[in-house]
Structures are given as structure tokens and as C-alpha cells.
Chain A
Amino acid sequence: MKQACATLPKTLRLLALAVALSPMLAAMPVLADDYSDVNQLLRGGKFSDALAKADQYLQGKPRDPQMRFIKGVVQSESGKPFDAIATFTKLTEDYPELPEPYNNLAVLYAGQNQLDKARTALEMAIRTNPSYTTAHENLGDVYAKLASQAYAKALQLDANNNAVQPKLALIRELFAPAGKGQRPGTTVAATPIPTQAPVPTTPTSKPPPVVTPVSPLPPPVLVPISPAPPPATTPAVAPAAGSKDVENAVHAWASAWAAKDMTGYLNAYGKEFDTPGNQSRQSWEEERRKRILGKSSISVKLHDLTVTVKGNTATARFKQEYAANSLSASSRKTLEMSKVGERWLIVKEHSGS
């Protein structure tokens, strides 16, 4: 890692040169490295290193929301809630249209049992982005918690057993801040090599904005992309072999969810499933169990499902309409799938704006 730190500035300088040389090249390729580098340090528990790297980057680009967001996540995970709150708060001031910082503020406030602040932050998140499922689910949790506190006061029950603060779901990635409808692209402009200049301008739907969501996936994302348009971003790609199987797997997963079939639902996720919020697999499963079984009825409908298969990995993107009890929300979703034996399993799941 130290070496990476040492080489980074060099890469940056290279990049600067490349930028000067090639107007077509957006700055992302090297940035992609930085974001995922910090994320990797974070996952490895190397918080001070992650923080240092982030700060280093931010010296050059102090306003960069993506890195600031990641820094906030690092601070939060490393047990510095007040610093994290400051980071996210500043982000909400500079980029009030982003729901993710609000959501994470809510998570931090809830952790401090400041439920009213958590509620306000989540309501802001939803205001900027009404279909953001995570914020809705978190808000439902906050409401339930506030309700149980009010009930405890009403019935003069010992409120001490309310000491367990609701654990809300932290969002780990900042998605496209400019414009709704952006889906997290897994392969957007992910090349570190300046010579790949044309790549970012391949006819993907829209030119990626300055700060593109970059998912902290392992190397495949960073592999220099051939001049051929990255298949994943083109909806019109011919159905590859296996895409039908992927579709079936996705539908089976949605059906299990709606039927509250926990076995079927959880089995749709692979062993290497990237659990959100740095949770252990077990605690993630428990949370899903609670959330799903706790509803009297669930309806999950998928629309505009597009599947792209690349060997043993696939990406499924769709519009998800979710309704449970008196809540309903529709959002875009992406499932990264991986083929294990004969089955397609989910290894990553994210909602988008």
C-alpha cells in the first residue's frame, strides 16, 4: 500500500499531462483508482491510511463530493461520528441535491439516539430523491423507534430497554449527483491508461458527468476497455447466451422476496455477496429477515429488465416497484451476478436514483 501511495502523485501528474494532451479524456480514469484505493483501505480496516489518502486527494480537489463522501464513510466506520457528521453536513450544504449524505447523517444521528435529527435528515433525503428505498426503509425504522419511545412515555414503561439505537443502513457509495435517472455504471470510463483516450466517449447513453459513480469493484472494472463499446452500458446488445438464465434468477429472487420466502430469498445471494454497511453476512441476513418478515404483505414488480452477460458475470438492471404495508417506492436497481455452478447468484446489489 505504501508503494501505491508513493506512486499516486506520479499518476496524478501523468494524468494532468494526459488531460492537457487529450481534451477527450475526462479525468476519471485516475480518479477511479483513488476512490477504489481509499475504499480498499477502508475495507481492510486501515482507517488512518484511508483517511490520509483521502485527505491527500482532497488537498488537490477540496470540493470533490465523491472523495468527501468516502472520507465521511471512513470517519464513520472508524468510530469518529462527530467528524463524519461534520463531513456529511458540509456535503449537504455544498450539494443539497444529493440524498446520500443526508441518509448517512441520519445513520450517525440515530447511532447517537438523536432520532429527531435522524428523521429530519431522512426527510431531506427523500425530498431530494423520493424513490430512494434505503432512505425510506431507514425512515420507517426511525418512525418505529420514535413511536416506541412515545409509547414508553405514554405507558410510563421503563425506557431503558430502548437504549438500543436503531441501526440504520449506511450508504457506501455516492451515485451520480447530477440529474436523476443515472444508473451506477460499472464500467464507466474505468481506464487508467491515458492512451485509451477514446474510451470515455464511446456512445454510452450520456457523457458521464464530472463525478461519476465508481463502484469499488475489484480489478475487472479497471481493465482497459477495448475500443468496442462496453457491453454493459448499451441496452441494445444482443442477448448473450445465459442471459435468459440470469433473468430467471432475478425473477426468482423477486418472487421469493414478495412471498417472504426467506430461504429462497437469501439463497439468491452468493457467498461473496458484498453486504451493505460493512455488516457481517449474518447480521445482514438477520436484518433482511426482520425487515421482510415484519411486513404483513410485500409486492415486488420488475420492469425494463436488461441483462448483460460477460462470461461468468452478469449485470441485471431494472426498475423495481416495491410495496409493503402502507409504503410503496419505485427505484432503479442493479444486481451484479456471478455464476456458481449452474446458478446465477447475486454478489452486489445497489439502488440508484
Chain B
Amino acid sequence: MFVLPPSRALLAFLFAVIFGAFLPASLAAEGVRQSRLKSTTTESDISTLATSDLSAARRDGQAEAKLLEVYRLIGQGQILPALKQAEALVKAHPNFQLAQLVYGDLLSSRSRPLRILGDVPDTTARIAAPVLGELREESQMRIKALRERPPAGTVPSQFLRLSSRNRHAIAVDASRSRLYLFENTSSGLQMIADYYISVGKLGVEKSVEGDLRTPLGVYFITSTISQRKLKDLYGAGALPINYPNPLDTRRGKTGSGIWLHGTPSAQFARPPKASDGCVVLANPDLEFIMNTVEIRNTPVVIAPSLKWVPPQSILPEVSVFEGVLQSWRTAKSTGNLPRTLSFYAPDFNNEGQNLSAWTSIVQKEMTKAAGREIALKDLSVLRWTDNGTDTMVVTFGEVIEGTITGPKKRQYWVRQGNQWKIFFEGIIG
């Protein structure tokens, strides 16, 4: 009779070692999937969803979930079910290179023991060493993202306050090759999905054009570009973000064309560091984001690594800053120009307009207000700290009491000493 390889326990152990000491069965696969299952079609979201999406089954994150299921089965020593799953996965996504690698391993394991993830013949390993290394890295990133989940009830520390206009928010953790998508619900920011992503070939902290790095900071999605307008490289579409933002500009950073975009048809996912600076997602994941978020109102925080904090812990900090903001608002409302101007940094700059140029604009606005109260509608405050510099990115509608609408404004504040100063203010809508 045909006999199975000696010890199944040994085999399971071997696979666990190969796949990175992963996978007691109790690991949080269930927890992840639950967050995936949560519906996003709340009433407030209907208007932001393309009608076609309402009835479509969720396809985002599915390929990764299936791959992680294969890993889980391997970790349990269930090789044949793993092989079957891997086979189905590569059939559904023949361009998912990591899945093909795992599938190849599982096939090879039928006739010989495996030594490592991607146990290709030595000659092949030599020829394809860079690609093999990248696939193993991608695998490690995906496994890590499953094992190490953000603590429940926490949010990235940048999100101090979001308004009801910010239906969704995005945060990218470059060190984890992960993008987190949030819905801004009545009970606060809820994570509704997270995806494997790629950043620039040379990592993060973009500063100049062509440096192959992804920028770090607080950005907003400015527009959307559909697939038919794009090359195959960009996959399902693109969501450009506003790099360089005013903080980047203040620091003399150059470059442009930083997008969230998809992958080419030959590749389901790209290595952790792959792009010219853009944030790259698998097409089903990008499609879901494009169908979900509202352009211009969706902040995108890109950090070298995210710090997750309970929202309540942020409140003291928020209230301190908002106290300052209110002082500025009051000064402007009461028509006190000098006091208002005291909140602006000397090196204020709005696209070439320095403080004295901006002063006349402030004056005009004050005149228009004619002593009526100025309200800050739909206020959002995001904090960005790096290299010892604290900044706040503030967005609001500046509405004069008694009127219905007013200009949508964005301000960038910087902490100088123990004071907050505005170094950028602009009308963005």
C-alpha cells in the first residue's frame, strides 16, 4: 500500500518553520475576516457608493484571505486540503505570483521534502534570486499583518478630529506594507478593511522628483482617474493625492504624480518596495476603495509606522489645539486684524503669496463678515509630527453667521516653541 510520509507532526513542524513559525490554528484569521465582513452600506454611505457596488459581492482582500487559509492548513499539517485550496487560488488568480510559488511548493512536497518557501531547483534559485527574495518578503509582510493586528478600539494617532464630511479615512503603514481603510461612523473611526500594499523602490520619505520614494505626511485624495485613461501598469485606476502638500513645499520638496493605483495585468501584487513612489494595491482592493471613498474629503496618512491610540487619549491634545484655533476664529470674527495676524507665521506662504499679500485677503474677508460671527463648519484636524516638528492640518468651511455657505479652507499650523502658528492657509473649494 502506498504509505504517507513518516510523521505528520514532523511535517507540520517543518512547514511552520518554512512559513515563519506561523499559525497555531487559533490565530486571528477569524478576527480579520470579521472586520472584512462588516457591511459598509450604511445609510450615510449610499451616496458615495457606485450603484453597481451595492449588490456586488466583496472581492477586495479575498485573494490574500485564501492564501492565508492555505498557510493555515499547511501549519496544521493538512497538506492535501492546502494543495487543493492553492490550486483553486491560482486558477482564480494566475498572476498572483506568491500563490503560484506556494502552489509549486505544495506540488513539490508530494514527492520530496521542502526546505524553504519557494523551494525551487538551485539553478532557478540563482537565476531568479531577486524575485524569489521579494516573494518571500511579500509573504512575510502578509503573515505579519495577520498575526499583528491593531489593538481593538484604537486609531492611528494622526486622526484628532474628523467631520461628517470625512466619510472615510485611509492610513498607510510603510513598515508593514499595509493600508488601513476606515469608515467614520457615529461612534467614531472604524476600520473596515486592510490591504497589502507596495511603496517606493527606495522606501519612504520622498523629498525630490525621481527619488523612488513614497512621501510621508497627511494628504488628501484630490481626484480619481479611471482605468480606461491609464496604462496597464496602473491597473484598475488611480487616486492621486496632493503631494507635495504645503508642509512639503515649505520644506522645498519636489516631485509630483503620487497616486494610489492598481497593478498591471501580469501581476496580481507587487513586491513590498516596488514603485516609483506611488502606493500600489491589488486591483480588487483599489476598486473597492475607489467605489467607496469620496475624493477631496478623504485624508490619507502615510507614516513610516503607525501608532495606534485609544481615541479618548487624544482628547486633551485636541482640546488644547482647538483652543488656539478658536482664539484665531474669535479674533477674525471680531474684526481684530492685528490679533488675527499674530496667529500667522512670519514665513507664511500660499503659493507665492507671503504674509503681507495674505493680509489683504484676510482684511477683505473681515470686511465681508462685518462683525458677524464666523463659524468653522465640518472641522477636521489631523496631526503630523516628524523630525521634531509638530504640525496640524485643519480643514473647515468658513461660514459667516446668517449665510449658508462659505469657502472651504485648509490651514497648516506649526508649533513654534509653545505657540501654534499658521504657515499655510488656502481656499480649496
Contact = CB atoms under 8 A, between A and B. Distances in A.
Contacts of B109: 326
B389 interface: no
Interface string B86-97: 000010001101
B278 interface: no
Interface stretch (A89-97, A139-147, A164-172, A210-218): A139-147
Interface in A141-195: 143-144, 146-151, 153-157
B131 interface: yes
A153 B131 CA distance: 11
B111 A140 contact: yes
Contact of B110 (A140, A151, A153, A329): A140
Contacts of B5: 326
B358 to A, nearest CB: 53
B237 interface: no
Interface in B81-117: 90, 94-95, 97-98, 100-101, 103-105, 107-113
A130 B2 contact: yes
Contacts of B127: 157
Contact of B3 (A140, A146, A328): A328
A146 B112 CA distance: 14
B111 A326 contact: yes
B132 interface: yes
A156 B94 CA distance: 11
A327 interface: yes
Contact of A326 (B1, B112, B118): B112
A139 B107 CA distance: 11
B107 A153 contact: no
A49 to B, nearest CB: 40
Q: How large is the interface on A (under 10, 10 to 19, 20 to 34, 35 or more residues)?
A: 20 to 34
A168 to B, nearest CB: 14
B2 A147 contact: no
A143 B79 CA distance: 14
Contacts of B199: none
B2 A131 contact: yes
B17 interface: no
Contacts of A130: 1-2
A131 B1 contact: yes
A143 B95 CA distance: 20
Interface string B1-15: 111010000000000
Nearest to A150: B104
A296 B112 CA distance: 9
A7 interface: no
A13 to B, nearest CB: 46
Contact of A146 (B107, B121, B132, B266): B107
A330 interface: yes
B97 to A, nearest CB: 5
A325 B3 CA distance: 12
A131 B135 CA distance: 38
B120 interface: yes
A323 B127 CA distance: 32
B107 A150 contact: yes
Contacts of B337: none
Nearest to A153: B100
B99 to A, nearest CB: 8
Given A131-B2, A150-B100, A155 B112 contact: no
Interface string A47-58: 000000000000
Contacts of B107: 143-144, 146-147, 150
A126 interface: yes
B233 interface: no
Contacts of B427: none
A161 to B, nearest CB: 11
A21 B152 CA distance: 90
Contacts of A150: 90, 100-101, 103-104, 107
Nearest to A146: B107
A136 interface: yes
A155 B111 contact: no
B128 interface: yes
Contacts of B98: 154
B97 A156 contact: yes
A146 to B, nearest CB: 5
Contacts of A327: 2, 111
A325 B132 CA distance: 25
A156 B131 contact: yes
B124 interface: yes
B113 to A, nearest CB: 6
A154 B101 contact: yes
A302 B100 CA distance: 40
B2 A328 contact: yes
Nearest to A130: B2
Interface in B241-267: 266
A325 B97 contact: no
Contact of A148 (B2, B104, B112, B118): B104
A155 B131 contact: yes
A296 B94 CA distance: 32
B102 to A, nearest CB: 8
Count chain A CB atoms within 10 A of each CB in B94, B111, B128 and give the residue with the most: B111
A147 B108 contact: yes
Please name the 5 residue pairs, one residue from A and one from B, whose CB atoms are nearest each other, closest first. Answer: A150-B104, A154-B101, A154-B100, A147-B107, A155-B128
25 contacts: A126-B2, A130-B2, A146-B107, A149-B104, A150-B103, A151-B100, A151-B104, A151-B124, A153-B95, A154-B98, A154-B101, A155-B135, A156-B131, A157-B128, A296-B112, A325-B112, A326-B5, A326-B109, A326-B110, A326-B111, A327-B2, A327-B111, A328-B2, A329-B3, A330-B1
Given A126-B2, A154-B103, A155-B135, 17 more contacts: A130-B1, A130-B2, A131-B1, A143-B108, A143-B111, A144-B108, A147-B105, A151-B101, A151-B104, A151-B120, A151-B124, A154-B118, A154-B135, A325-B111, A325-B112, A326-B109, A326-B111
